[in-house]
Amino acid sequence: MDDTKQRELSHETEGIDWGGQVSRQTRLMVHKNSWSDALVKNAHDGLNLPSPDCDRCSVITGECLYYHYGCDGKDDRGWGCGYRTLQTIASWLCLQSISVSPRHPPNLSEIQHILVQIGDKPNSFLGSREWIGTVEAGLVLDQLYDVPCRIVHVRHGKELVQAVEDLHNHFCTHGSPVMMGGDRDNSSKGILGVCTGTKGSYLLVMDPHYFGCPLDKNSLQKHGWVSWKPVGSLDQCSFYNLCLPRTLRK
């Protein structure tokens, strides 16, 4: 079997029963970017600013896809959020003309194989339900796309205000989505932008924890899966890590 066929088969879905409705089996194919057709692109488009006083707003440049629990037929609830955020970042790299590699975003199995291959994880990691964090995401992005990542460590939520400037600079310089995770708040999330005004700063959060039938852009925004969140609303006692892919824009 050639590599193309193997990749196609590895992206077949399993079919999940979402509230009694069984999803049709689809494939995230490699050819002609058709792998991107089944997922919502730029789910944040059209979202209003969080506050009328925001006078500085920095967001991603280009397009990315909304990856979430079960979006490819794999039920990864409870452990797959880091993988999904990584896939969203990979989709951004694939969809930009500046991408070092046009390779499609890796599926969950491929991510695990890469981490084992480079020696970051033991063989027992393969096929497991172990989560990954920002460090692992950075390793995979570097391995697949030759994109170095900067890891910013925030000791506790109260210091996130100080990381806001890093995020503004990142989006203005590199334009790529950011992965965020922590310890007490260990739910991985994608950061697509940052907005600052007299009343404080807000993060544009893409939450990969949605599980269910596909939603359109408006529904994702309405139900808060893509939304602006005040920096102060995050866990003030949790540390946070930010993974910032450092691909320069043209």
Q: What is the block-wise mean pLDDT of the chain (250 residues), using blocks of 10 residues? A: 37 38 37 65 95 93 96 96 98 78 88 98 98 97 94 84 92 96 90 94 97 95 97 87 82
Distance CA 57, CA 172 (A): 10
The answer to whether residue 71 is catalytic is: no
- The first and second tokens of residue 156, run together, are 């506790």
How far, in Å, CA of 92 to CA of 79, rounded?
A: 22
Catalytic residue among 57, 120, 166, 209: 209
**At 103, phi and psi to the nearest 5?**
-55, 140
Note the pLDDT of residue 31.
42
**In this structure, are residues 4 and 104 in contact, taking their beta carbons and an 8 Å threshold?**
no
Candidate list 81, 94, 195, 243, residue with the active-site label: 81
pLDDT for position 249: 53
* Whole-number CA gyration radius for the chain: 18
- pTM, two decimals, is 0.86
Quote the CA–CA distance of 210 and 45 in Å, as a whole number.
18
Answer yes or no: 172 catalytic: no
Phi and psi at residue 113, to the nearest 5°: -60, -40
DSSP H or E stretch at residue 194? strand 189-197
Side-chain-side CA neighbours of residue 167 (13 Å): 32
209 is catalytic: yes
With DSSP H G I counted as helix, E B as strand and the rest as coil, what are the percentages for the chain, rounded to 5? Answer: 30, 20, 45
Rounded Cα–Cα distance for residues 156 and 231 (Å)? 12
In this predicted structure, what is the pLDDT of residue 100?
Answer: 58
Q: Which domains, ranges and CATH numbers included, belong to the chain?
A: 39-245 (3.90.70.130)
Q: State the catalytic residue, choosing from 94, 104, 207, 243.
A: 207
pLDDT of residue 20: 36
pLDDT at 217: 96
Query: Are 74 and 82 within 8 A, CB to CB?
Result: no
Strand partners, 190: 179, 206
Nearest alpha carbon to residue 164 among 234, 235, 231, 227: 231
- Which residues are within 8 A (CB) of 144 and not within 5 positions of it... i.e. 6 or more apart? 90, 101, 103, 106, 114
Helix (H, G, I), strand (E, B) or coil at 35: helix
